[in-house]
Amino acid sequence: MEKESIANLIDEKYSALIEWIENHPDELWTHGPEGKWTTGQHVLHVLQSTIPLNNALSLPKFVVRYRFGKANRAVREYDAIIKRYKERLEQSKGKTFKGSQNMKIPTLSDKHYLINRIQTESKKLQYKTKRISEKNLDTLVLPHPLMGKMPVREIIMWSAYHVEHHLDILKKKYS
């Protein structure tokens, strides 16, 4: 997938989530099905996964290469990444990464702040995706808590799917 297509995919997925959240009843922001995340927690989780990616993409490329290494395989296609992610999710039995375990429930007063942060972080991710070189997209790797080290192009594509994944969960819970 080319950089422009990935940036457009990020815009599409994050915009769909934001639109759904904005039209979602406020009273359901802090309450979810028994034992499951609330809408606010899903939003916070998406934000918690996007911010570190943007931070890593802001590092000098030599630092990323030094800390995490270089890719030792070809970049996978979008569908292959999603298939692998679903397999890993199933194997992990829904385990979440450390930052999202025992997550606080964002209050209703946090809703607009979190929406604004997601908008900002998604725009940053689009910008960074368009600015990084093709070579660095394919050769630099970043760690993913469930998938292991992934080329930057893959982890950015995964990020777009991750948003879709959580939106689908929310739609199923509240439809």
Q: Is 164 exposed, middle or buried (0-12, 13-18, 19+ CB in 10 A)?
A: middle
What average pLDDT does the segment 79-91 reach? 94
pLDDT tens digits for 54-63? 999 999 999 9
- Residue owning tokens 């940053």: 124
| pLDDT surpassing 80 at residue 93 | no
What average pLDDT does the segment 138-148 reach? 95
CB 112 within 8 A of CB 21: no
- Residue owning tokens 């039209």: 23
| pLDDT surpassing 90 at residue 87 | yes
With the C-alpha atoms ordered 63, 158, 99, 44, is the resulting torsion angle positive or negative? positive
What is this structure's pTM? 0.93
Q: Which of 109, 122, 106 is nearest to 38 (CA)?
A: 106
| pLDDT surpassing 70 at residue 94 | no
140 φ, ψ to 5°? -75, 145
Residues 6+ apart with CB under 8 A from 131: none
Determine what percent of the chain is predicted with pLDDT higher than 70.
95
What average pLDDT does the segment 69-82 reach? 96
Question: Which DSSP category does 27 fall into?
Answer: G
| pLDDT surpassing 80 at residue 95 | no
Domain boundaries, the chain: 3-23+35-174
For domain 3-23+35-174, give the CATH number.
1.20.120
Angle, helices 111-131/39-58, rounded to nearest 10 degrees: 30
